[in-house]
């Protein structure tokens, strides 16, 4: 169905075979005007990297679509396709031209000696004009928005019309590329080998039929066509790829230009015959640049046109029109060879060259196979060495596992020791509790003795004293910082009081709800010491910031000015805020520092609290947050030999000094290495 727009009706074969090539045969047809039809051989209906995987019919349709878009005076016009009786394959129908450049330069069979041949009328001016026509056709193909690479440019595919205007034919293997210098993977050596550059035959171990090249392949082919057209000798593909340098004794490779040096002598002779031989002749420069081994060093089609224009300008064209008319008349009257044996002879010759190249590539592949086998042997030896290393690594791993087992046993023993130490601490704490209870009983007994003594002395005598209170703790204090108040007693005569009295003191936090009621925290450490009956020192350590009331009593009676208002300021060392009166909110982890202090992690308070051996709180640090020196629900804690504290929280691990100063913070939230969840 895809061929329907291109199918021509009323196409008739005349029975005249025009020629044949490596890809198909060409026959004369009537459309109703004269035309030529090319039938592709079935065995050659194959694609390349640009059409791989497509059905053959789809590939043929794409070729027809490509040729139908080409419109240029130097491109053979594609007319359509036709189906002939006895063949299931479609034939490409194109305009009929006079002859090909190859048949003009190398007629077969050769003309009789001394006869006037069309080649003798093919002047240098006409040669330059024909080459310029070919370059214009290539420029049209290469400079399209989607450049087209011909890939099979040869003298057989350059056809001449009745005005000796050259047109490029046989675009059956042409390919569209993104841009003119884009290297595409395509069939290796698609055209005649004599016209192909070295990259078209680049060896490939994985797929010998594929290679990469760009539009410079057509420029190379044009250089070979120029040698043929100017030198008038078909440049058979030389088989000598290397040569031996007698001076250096080294086998050197030949360049493409060196391989064709024999045919360059024919070019020089033809230019000398025209009186134009010189080293910088534009045709010589054109051939040298087009046959460069590296595609990137070959000229673009614009530079090729410039050199051909320069060559045309330097050629005398006297009588060129007369030569053209005579040449056309000679071509029209030249008898055609009906048996076409020379065509098949060329194919056999070309096939021999191709087989020689294939043998060369086979030798290269065999050499690379040997290199690959050596590499495999080296890899096997390396694998054996790796296996030995792996066995040693496994043995080391077994030793590490044994060591880990011993370490686990040692850890179990250490945990048992810790359990015993905790039991010892528990018993010691119980003893401390009993000692405190005994101390309380002794104090109560002493208070009873003092009260009894006061009753014996009488209320009148005991009331004859005056109190004077002073000291830094009378109006302000700092959380967790000990302070004191001095109470001095004098009698009515102003002398120091001489009788012992029962002086007591308490510190209470003012309620934030009513500002009037007070509550009596049992953790505020308040003590009264005396060195004489006339002087008492009230010492206390506040644990709650804000407004506190200091109550001082003598014989269970408030002294003048009591209760004293004390403003308690936060401890600059304490970064958190106690949640409860006792300062413990959801205790979770516990650790000991030098068996003298106990550290407790508070999940609810987001802080750490430190107690001494008497279970008295020394200080707290930490606050709720995700910044350094802050924590959220601290859990595990530990200490080291230098009394540094380690705490895990906030998806990280923090290290503090024994005073609560941050040393280091490790980790952050996440599931990657160095992160915690």
CA distances from 257 to 197, 224, 239, 260, 482 (A): 11, 10, 14, 5, 104
User: Is the pLDDT at 206 greater than 50, yes or no?
Assistant: no
CA-nearest of 26, 23, 29, 59 to 41 is 23
Return d(Cα 552, Cα 503) in angstroms, integer. 7
Predicted pLDDT at 450: 82
The 3-state secondary structure of 193-233, one letter per residue: HHHCCHHHHCCCCCCCCEEEECCHHHHHHHHHHHHHHHHCC
What is the Cα–Cα distance from 160 to 170, expressed in whole angstroms? 13
Question: In angstroms, rounded to a whole number, what is the distance separating the alpha carbons of residues 422 and 416?
Answer: 10
Q: Would you say residue 47 has pLDDT above 50?
A: no
Q: Strand pairing partners for 167?
A: 159
- Distant-in-sequence, close-in-space partners of 54: CB < 8 Å, separation ≥ 6: 47, 62
The answer, yes or no, to whether residue 514 has pLDDT greater than 70, is: no
**pLDDT average, residue stretch 103-118:** 76
Which of the four pLDDT bands, split at 50, 70 and 90, describes residue 645? Answer: very high
Taking 80 as the threshold, does the pLDDT of residue 245 lie above it? no
Structure tokens at 341: 């044996």
- Distance (Å, whole) CA 409 – CA 414: 9
- The string of pLDDT tens digits covering residues 537-565 is 999 888 777 788 888 888 888 888 888 88
Question: Residue 117 — very low, low, confident or very high, per pLDDT cuts 50/70/90?
Answer: confident
Residue 597 has pLDDT above 90, yes or no: no
User: Looking at the predicted structure, is the pLDDT value of residue 388 above 80?
Assistant: yes
Residue 433 has pLDDT above 90, yes or no: yes
Query: What DSSP designation does 183 have?
Result: -
Closest CA relative to residue 170, chosen from 37, 52, 291, 44: 37
| pLDDT at residue 584, as a whole number | 80
CA distance 155 to 224: 9
Q: Which residue has the tokens 């009706």?
A: 9
**What per-residue confidence (pLDDT) applies to 155?**
93
| Distance between CA atoms of residues 108 and 102, nearest Å | 10
Closest CA to 56 of 563, 48, 85: 48
For helices 261-273 and 282-290, what crossing angle results, to 10°?
160
CA dist 552 and 554 (Å) reads 7
| CA distance linking residue 233 with residue 159, whole number of Å | 18
In the chain, what are the helix, strand and coil shares in percent, each to the nearest 5?
A: 35, 25, 40
Distance, in Å, from the CA atom of 118 to the CA atom of 104, rounded to the nearest integer, reads: 7
Could you tell me whether strands 476-478 and 503-510 are parallel, antiparallel, or unpaired per DSSP bridges?
Answer: unpaired
DSSP assignment letter at 75: B
Whether the link from the prior residue into 109 is cis, omega within 30° of 0, is yes
If pLDDT is split at 50, 70 and 90, which confidence band does 467 have?
A: confident
Compute φ and ψ for 543, nearest 5 degrees: -120, -10
Tell me the domains of the chain and their CATH numbers: 1-96 (3.30.200.20), 99-336 (1.10.510.10), 462-569 (2.60.40.10), 587-666 (2.40.10.500)
- Rounded CA-CA distance 527/506 in Å is 9
167 a known binding residue? no
Copy the structure tokens of residue 73: 């005076």
Residue, of 272 and 514, whose pLDDT is higher:
272
> pLDDT tens digits for 83-98?
877 777 788 888 888 8
Distance CA 78, CA 66 (A): 10
- Residue 626: band (very low, low, confident or very high) from pLDDT cuts 50, 70, 90: confident
What does the pLDDT look like over 393-420, one tens digit per residue?
A: 999 999 999 999 999 999 999 999 999 9
C-alpha radius of gyration, the chain, whole number? 55
pTM comes to: 0.48
My answer on whether omega of the bond before 571 falls inside 30° of 0, hence cis, is no
Please, what is the average pLDDT of the chain? Answer: 79
Res 339: pLDDT: 40
pLDDT for 347: 54
Burial class (CB in 10 A: 0-12, 13-18, 19+), 341: exposed
Rounded Cα–Cα distance for residues 6 and 96 (Å) = 18
Judge whether residue 257 has pLDDT over 90. Answer: no
Cα–Cα dist 239/319, whole Å? 41
- Using DSSP's 3-state secondary structure scheme, residue 539 falls into strand
Distance (Å) of CA 496 to CA 461, 462, 468, 471, 534: 14, 13, 11, 18, 5
The SS3 call for residue 153 is coil
Phi-psi map region of 650: left, alpha, beta (phi>0 left; psi -120 to 50 alpha): left
Q: Taking each helix axis from N to C terminus, what angle separates 301-313 and 282-290, rounded to the nearest 10 degrees?
A: 160
Q: Does residue 447 come out as left (phi exceeding 0), alpha (psi in the -120 to 50 range) or beta? A: alpha
pLDDT score of 43: 39
Task: Give the closest residue to 291 by CA, choosing from 243, 253, 258, 242.
Answer: 258
């Amino acid at each position: 169905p895809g061929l329907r727009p291109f199918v021509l009706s009323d196409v008739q074969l005349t029975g005249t075979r025009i020629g044949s090539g490596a890809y198909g045969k060409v026959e004369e047809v009537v459309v109703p005007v004269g035309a030529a039809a090319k039938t592709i051989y079935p065995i050659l209906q194959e694609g390349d990297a640009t059409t791989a995987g497509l059905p053959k019919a789809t590939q043929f349709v794409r070729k027809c679509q490509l040729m139908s878009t080409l419109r240029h005076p130097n491109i053979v016009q594609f007319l359509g396709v036709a189906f002939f009786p006895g063949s299931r394959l479609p034939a490409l129908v194109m305009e009929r031209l006079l002859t090909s450049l190859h048949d003009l330069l190398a007629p077969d069979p050769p003309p009789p000696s001394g006869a006037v041949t069309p080649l003798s009328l093919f002047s240098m001016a006409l040669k330059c004009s024909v080459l310029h026509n070919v370059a214009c056709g290539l420029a049209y193909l290469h400079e399209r928005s989607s450049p087209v690479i011909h890939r099979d440019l040869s003298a057989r595919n350059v056809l001449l019309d009745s005005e000796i205007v050259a047109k490029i034919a046989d675009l059956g293997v042409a390919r569209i590329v993104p841009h003119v210098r884009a290297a595409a993977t395509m069939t290796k050596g698609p055209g005649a080998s004599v016209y192909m550059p070295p990259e078209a035959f680049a060896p490939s171990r994985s797929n010998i039929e594929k290679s990469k090249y760009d539009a410079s392949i057509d420029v190379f082919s044009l250089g070979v066509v120029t040698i043929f057209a100017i030198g008038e000798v078909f440049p058979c593909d030389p088989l000598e790829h290397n040569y031996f340098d007698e001076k250096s004794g080294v086998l050197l490779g030949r360049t493409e230009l060196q391989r064709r040096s024999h045919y360059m002598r024919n070019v020089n002779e033809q230019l000398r015959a025209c009186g134009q031989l010189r080293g910088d002749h534009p045709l010589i420069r054109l051939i040298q640049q087009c046959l460069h081994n590296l595609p990137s060093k070959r000229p673009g089609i614009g530079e090729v046109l410039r050199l051909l224009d320069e060559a045309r300008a330097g050629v005398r064209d006297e009588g060129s029109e007369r030569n053209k008319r005579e040449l056309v008349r000679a071509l029209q009257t030249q008898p055609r060879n009906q048996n076409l044996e020379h065509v098949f002879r060329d194919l056999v010759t070309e096939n021999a060259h191709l087989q020689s190249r294939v043998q060369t590539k086979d030798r290269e592949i065999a050499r690379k196979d040997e290199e690959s086998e050596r590499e495999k042997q080296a890899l096997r030896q390396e694998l054996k060495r790796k296996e030995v290393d792996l066995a040693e690594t496994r043995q080391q791993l077994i030793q590490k596992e044994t060591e880990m087992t011993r370490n686990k046993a040692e850890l179990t023993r250490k945990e048992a020791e810790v359990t015993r130490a905790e039991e010892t601490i528990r018993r010691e704490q119980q003893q401390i509790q009993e000692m405190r209870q005994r101390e309380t009983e002794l104090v109560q007994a002493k208070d009873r003795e003092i009260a009894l003594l006061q009753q014996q002395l009488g209320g009148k005598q005991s009331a004859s004293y005056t109190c004077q209170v002073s000291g830094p703790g009378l109006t302000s204090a700092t959380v967790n910082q000990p302070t004191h108040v001095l109470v001095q007693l004098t009698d009515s005569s102003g002398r120091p009081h001489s009788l012992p009295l029962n002086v007591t003191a308490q510190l209470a936090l003012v309620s934030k709800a009513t500002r009037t009621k007070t509550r009596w925290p049992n953790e505020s450490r308040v003590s009264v010491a005396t060195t004489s009956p006339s002087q008492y020192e009230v010492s206390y350590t506040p644990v709650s910031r804000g407004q506190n009331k200091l109550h001082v009593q003598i014989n269970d009676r408030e002294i003048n000015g009591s209760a004293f208002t004390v403003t308690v300021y936060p401890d600059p060392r304490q970064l958190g805020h106690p949640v409860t009166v006792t300062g413990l909110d959801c205790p979770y982890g516990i650790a000991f520092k030098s068996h003298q202090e106990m550290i407790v992690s508070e999940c609810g308070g987001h802080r750490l609290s430190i107690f001494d051996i008497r279970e008295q709180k020394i200080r707290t640090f930490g606050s709720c947050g995700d910044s350094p020196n802050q924590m959220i629900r601290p859990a595990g804690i530990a200490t080291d030999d230098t009394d540094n504290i380690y705490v895990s929280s906030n998806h990280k691990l923090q290290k503090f000094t024994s005073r609560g100063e941050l040393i280091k913070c490790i980790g952050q939230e996440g599931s990657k290495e160095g992160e915690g969840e």
